[in-house]
Structure formats: structure tokens, C-alpha cells
Structure 1
């Protein structure tokens, strides 16, 4: 794909806002200000590799990343919409799926992990199970 205005998904490098979304969906914390002097440690860990990858992908890879970002955003929005039904178990013949939010989170997290796999890095701390201890 070429990055023209007629293309549905651009093959150009990610914008700063898209990189923020990538980090967030992949479970990594915000980077903060680049000029803060506290950034060098990140380049010796997965964080630095992740940042390098986001800035150095092939055009077709940028297209795929944007597809992942769109899907994650859609799934995240659907989770918020599913919370509207939490107060209703049954309405006439309609029965609420008690596991809808859990199911939607599972699908959302699956796509987030697929984004991590596409980048070739492990899921960040925000995407790991909370009961897991990492040493």
C-alpha cells in the first residue's frame, strides 16, 4: 500500500499518538518527557527494543499495526458499552450474558497480546496477570 489519502490504512511511520496507543494496548507504561534524563535505562530492556521497533518497521508492517490498533480500540469501546447492561439480568425474553464483560475483556486482551507478538516482545506489566510475581 502507498500512504496516499485514498488508502484505508496508512503505511507511514506511526504518529506520537499511535505510539502512545501501542504502548498502552501492549501493557507498557507511558514514556514521559524525553528530555527528563530518566530514559536511558529503558534502552537496556524490552522497553527500548519496543521503542526502536515502533520507529523502524516496514511500510506493510505499519499497515498491520494500524489494523491491530483499530481492532483494539473497537474492542475496548465494546467493553464500555457492555457495562450498560450490568444492572439487567432479564428483560422480557432477553437474558443478559452474565459473562459478557469478562468475555469481551478476554477477546480484547487476546488482540493486545497479538500486537505484542507481532512486535516480538513480551506483554508489558499492564497486560500480565496481577497474581504473577516477576523477579
Structure 2
């Protein structure tokens, strides 16, 4: 079965999950593929995925959507430490973010891209 190409909304989600800034109306101005080599590679890959690869990317997007919405949902338990025998996981939000970011990095790995600036691990890399 032939997969339809990624819709603009799907491409936006891939960019966002991979940690890259908004693309805007195109590669104009001071951002985009001309200033981020990985951005150009990502755009090329998103526009030229094979059918099987499109299916995998869509699976990642579905998984990431669920993980992303679970993070704000965890805030419902922040005001309660314990109720009867139930005890709140004090690190629930951290754990959910770590799981979410791990899956984001897996998507980057599948696409062969370095994680973008918004998915940085906090370290600096100096390229000479």
C-alpha cells in the first residue's frame, strides 16, 4: 500500500519533536536550511521517505503525541502526596519528560539527524 506524503502538520510535528525551530513560510530570512545543515537534511528526508519509512515516522508521531499529552496530565497529582494506600511518584513529571525526550531522540536517530537546539542535553559542542 502506498503511503501518502507527510502532511504539513506532520512535518511540523517532526521538526518540533526533533527539537528544531519553526520553519515559517519557507527558507527565507536568517533561519532554515542555509543556517542549519541538519535542517536541510531533515527537510530532504521528510520529502523523500520511502513508504515503509513514512509508516515508521507516523508510528513515532502517534507514540510521541500520547507521551506529550501525558506530561501536562501528570500535573493533576502534584497537589497530593498520598491518598489512602496510593502514594504519588514525586518524580512523575521528570520521568514522563525523560521518556518523552528519549522517544524524541529515537525519532532523530531514525531520521539520521542530530537532536535540534530545543532537545539539547545542555552540553556545548565546539566545532572547529
TM norm structure 2: 0.90
Task: Give how far 1:83 is off.
Answer: 1.1
Mapping 1:79-98, distance limit 5 Å: 79-98=71-90
CA-to-partner distance for each residue in 1:91-123, whole Å, 9 max, x for gaps? 111100011111111111111000000000111
Separation in structure 1 between the aligned mates of residue 76 and residue 7 of structure 2, nearest angstrom: 33
1:124 is aligned to 2:100: no
Aligned in 2, Cα 1:115/1:41: closer, same or farther, shift over 3 Å?
same
Separation in structure 1 between the aligned mates of residue 120 and residue 77 of structure 2, nearest angstrom: 27
TM norm structure 1: 0.86
Aligned in 2, Cα 1:61/1:28: closer, same or farther, shift over 3 Å?
same
Higher alpha-carbon deviation: 121-130 or 27-36: 27-36
Separation in structure 1 between the aligned mates of residue 121 and residue 105 of structure 2, nearest angstrom: 12
Task: Give how far 1:36 is off.
Answer: 3.5
Output the aligned Cα RMSD.
1.6
Aligned in 2, Cα 1:126/1:56: closer, same or farther, shift over 3 Å?
same
SS of 2:21's equivalent?
Answer: coil
The alignment covers a number of residue pairs equal to: 125
SS of 1:36's equivalent?
Answer: coil
Unaligned stretches of 5+ in structure 1?
A: 4-10
Unaligned stretches of 5+ in structure 2?
A: none
Deviant stretches of 4+, over 2 Å? 35-40
Mapping 1:70-81, distance limit 5 Å: 70-81=62-73
